[in-house]
Amino acid sequence: MNSKKLNKFLTDKFGDKIGNLFNEIILSFITSLWFMILMFPIMIIKVNTIDQTIIWRWHNLIYIGAGSFVLSYLWRKALKLKEMKSRTEENSKKSFSLSESLSNLSESKFHYPAMGVTLLLFILIPVFSSLYQTTVLSSALIYVMLGLGLNIVVGLGGLLNLGYVAFYIVGAYSYAMLNTHFGLSFWVALPIGALLSTVFGILLALPILRLRGDYLAIVTLAFAEIIRLILQNEGDIFGGPSGINNIEPPSFFGFEFGLDGKTVLMYYIILFMTIFTIFVIFRLENSRIGRAWQALREDEIATKSMGINVTMTKLTSFALGATWAGFAGVLFSAKTAFINPDSFTIWESVIILCFVVLGGMGSIFGVAIAALILYILPESLRAFAQYRMLVYGISLVLMMIFRQGGIIDVKRKHYKLPDNIKAD
Amino acid sequence: MQLEYFISLLLGGLAKGSIYALIALGYTMVYGIIQLINFAHGEIYMIGAFTALIFSTVITYTMPDTAFLINVGISFTGAIIFAAAYGFTMERIAYRPLRNAPRLSALISAIGMSILLQNYVLLAQTPDFLPFPSLVPNFSFLEPIEYIVSSNQIVIIVTTIIVMILLTLLIKFTRVGKAMRATAQDKTMAQLIGINVDKIIAITFVIGSSTAALGGVLISSNIGQINYYIGFIAGIKAFVAAVLGGIGSIPGAVLGSLILGLTESFGSGYISSDYEDAFAFIFLVIILIFKPEGILGRKDNQKV
């Protein structure tokens, strides 16, 4: 019996309200039974073939049953709501939502003082927080930069780049090698690292840009893995699996700093670079090239017919995305003073992608906030850290199904025709 | 000596390619029907292997008297059934609501599903490598040449050939196969002539997941250990194989897998074993740049 027949049978018998309730309960019950069977071997039985033991965790069965009963109900409710919402949106375009008020907020006049306060807060943080917290925040800001850079490629350009970490590697290794082999200082290496990364981005993009979206994703992933394998295996040049250490931290006009001072200095450099990134991307977003990226994301063929050079536009998006990864890479190796290939796995790209997707593809503030929260939360809540990737995975799926726009949904630019102009 | 080394590399490559083929079949079928790179397919392969490990361990420890063949039978069947169920559930949760969404949304959802399943097994089981029991009987007639070819390799190659023939027959000659081909060509039209498209897609996922699980159990039994991460790289390589052969084509997937397996085997045997994993990726990049439709695939033009 399929679900529609069941629903009709129940509503005929018990009336609309109670019938629907019964129907929901039966459906949830079936789902929970299904999950209890499905997850039985992996969740209940834990085998250890090294110690030759089997642990039976029967209590998990109750959690699965109860959890999937509730979640299945919520799931159907959410799907129904989504369907209803898309239907009402077709009828009347006007609807009020939290995201809209949030994105309105970022356009209103209120936004400059708010930005000033946030900036002041970030500047003052090292003064009243511990060294550890400052370090964590520095790492989080590097991820903000990476997220914003990937946002150019994925969010604005609509090119799914799963190998973003490759450009991060180029930045990190170029400073590490320029510094340890040639003694170049941080300030000289910073632009060089970014430039190398950009060049690398262009070289990589040239052959693959004509590929379709999903193929592009998988080829970029392959490139990142090839580069990581090269780093891992060429011990003479890149230090192999043990990587490169003793990378100098940045200096500042010849001042000498203690360990604390160096950490704080690093924090300010990273903060400055992050603000610089936000500023540049903010300016880029509504520029000619930024509009071209967004047009490309929405419809490639339409963009082409508007006279935009698609290849060039894609290339700039790829290359500019790579530039920021290069900056972030140099900052990363200056901050940690030690790098090895293990810091640059595929999962690093995927995590950055999570920040972009959850923050809202194309939204600068959304991505920045998502990266900050999603990086700091697992760092500060150790109990949560274990479930970090699990939660990322679930939220990627849920976001795609229920809220493709992310936390902060970017409104498409649109112009209103004045009333006196009427189309014939 | 040289010849024996060559033959052992050849058979090793064929066995490896056969495993890739078992995974690639699922990739290619799913891609053929809904144009989705099912990133989580490798995870299904891993879950299949884990389920078999759990079943066979429980049987060995609690009922040590059970005959070996019964143990093997239950483990394989269990792995296939559960992996199929996971594939079915995954399609229902993560892909069905996105049927009409942009392609990239479904792809990101698939990446999310892959992370989710990996970490689910990591948290519920263990992050460590676990020894995997040998679930393939040893053929005594192979003993004199055991250093060249193992029973495992023979079983893997034969199984793949059988599965490929069965799948080809299924798609060419049965009602379900016909419906699958119709759905792959045009979903709306298929619906109009009374094909339940949702059901056909679910069946595709179930078949793909079962062959992946079969491959997972066979290779784990050959290698002798598993952990939660084995699915990812295997999945990517199988995808490469599917693209190499021409995605959407079943003989193509097998051909591509065998080419990839042999390249890896000879490459690591004669050139350098450090870069064994890189061959697949280099292959992928070259094919996609020069011949994106693959060896046996058909070129399709992008429609507005």
| Ranges of each domain in chain B | 13-138+148-232
pLDDT above 60 (res B288): yes
Dihedral sign, CA of A165, A167, A168, A174? positive
pLDDT, one tens digit per residue, over B209-226 is 999 999 999 999 888 889
Mean pLDDT on A303-328: 91
How much is the pLDDT for B298? 67
Segment B240-264 shows an average pLDDT of: 88
Q: How far apart are CA A350 and CA A410, in angstroms?
A: 22
Mutation for B interface: A43, A49, A355, most B CBs within 10 A: A49
The closest CB to that of A49, out of B57, B93, B115, belongs to B57
* Phi-psi map region of A299: left, alpha, beta (phi>0 left; psi -120 to 50 alpha): beta
A217 pLDDT more than 90: no
Give ranges for CATH 1.10.3470 in chain A.
110-402
pLDDT at A199 over 90: yes
CB contact under 8 A, A404 and B278: no
Average pLDDT of the segment spanning A196-222: 86
Instruction: Report which listed range, A110-114, A361-365, A401-405, B20-24, is most confident.
Output: B20-24
- In sequence order, what are the residues at sequence separation of 6 or more whose Cβ sits closer than 8 angstroms to the Cβ of residue A261? none
Q: How many CA within 13 A on the CB side of residue B202?
A: 12
Instruction: Give B165→chain A minimum CA distance, Å.
Output: 29
Q: Is B126 in Cβ contact with A41 (below 8 Å)?
A: no
Q: Is the CB of residue A392 less than 8 Å away from at least one CB of chain B?
A: yes
pLDDT band at B146 (very low <50, low <70, confident <90, very high): low
pLDDT in tens, A9-35: 777 777 777 888 888 888 889 999 999
Average the pLDDT over A318-345 and give the result. Answer: 90
Give the A window 25-54 contacts with B, CB below 8 Å.
34-35, 37-38, 41-43, 45-50, 52, 54
pLDDT of residue B281: 84
Reported as a pLDDT band with limits 50, 70 and 90, residue A106 is low
Q: Are A308 and A284 in contact (CB under 8 A)?
A: no
Residues of chain B contacting A221 with CB distance shorter than 8 Å: 236
What pLDDT sits at residue A422? 56
Residue A396 has its nearest CB partner, among B111, B126, B280, at B111
pLDDT value for A98: 53
Residue identified by tokens 């042999």 is: B262
Angstrom distance (rounded) from CA A292 to CA B119: 39
Question: In the prediction, which pLDDT does B302 show?
Answer: 47
Record: contact A396-B109, CB cut-off 8 A? yes
When pLDDT is cut at 50, 70 and 90, the band that residue B77 belongs to is very high
Q: Among A65-79, A96-110, A237-251, B183-197, which stretch is predicted with the lowest mean pLDDT?
A: A96-110
Closest-approach residue (CA) in chain A for B56: A47
Does residue A323 surpass a pLDDT of 90?
yes
Residue A51 has pLDDT above 90, yes or no: no
Q: What percent of chain A has pLDDT over 70?
A: 89
Chain B neighbors of A400, CB-CB under 8 A: 98, 101, 105-106, 108-109, 112
Q: Helix count (H) and strand count (E) of chain A?
A: 18, 4
User: Which H or E run includes A263?
Assistant: helix A259-285
Better pLDDT: B7 or A258: B7
Please state which of the ranges A214-218, A323-327, A380-384, B51-55 shows the lowest mean pLDDT.
A380-384
Q: How far apart are CA B108 and CA B36, in angstroms?
A: 10
For residue B169, what pLDDT is reported? 92
Amino acid A12: pLDDT: 76
Judged by CB atoms closer than 8 Å, whether chains meet at B97 and A401 is answered as yes
- Cβ contact, residue pair A47, B57, below 8 Å: yes
A216-230 average pLDDT score: 87
Contact B80, B163 (CB under 8 A): no
> Interhelix angle for B197-223 vs B2-34, to 10°?
160
Lowest-confidence region among A14-23, A55-64, A346-355: A14-23
With a pLDDT cut of 90, the percent of chain B lying above it is 40
Q: What is the mean pLDDT of chain A?
A: 83
pLDDT attached to residue A95: 45
Q: For residues A189-196, give the mean pLDDT.
A: 92
CATH number of A110-402: 1.10.3470
CA of A129 vs chain B CAs: smallest distance (Å)? 33
What residues in B contact A395, CB-CB < 8 Å? 112
Going from the C-alpha of A51 to that of each of A26, A42, A110, A394, B223, the distances in angstroms are 42, 18, 63, 32, 19
Instruction: Write out chain A residues lying below 8 Å of B242, CB-based.
Output: none
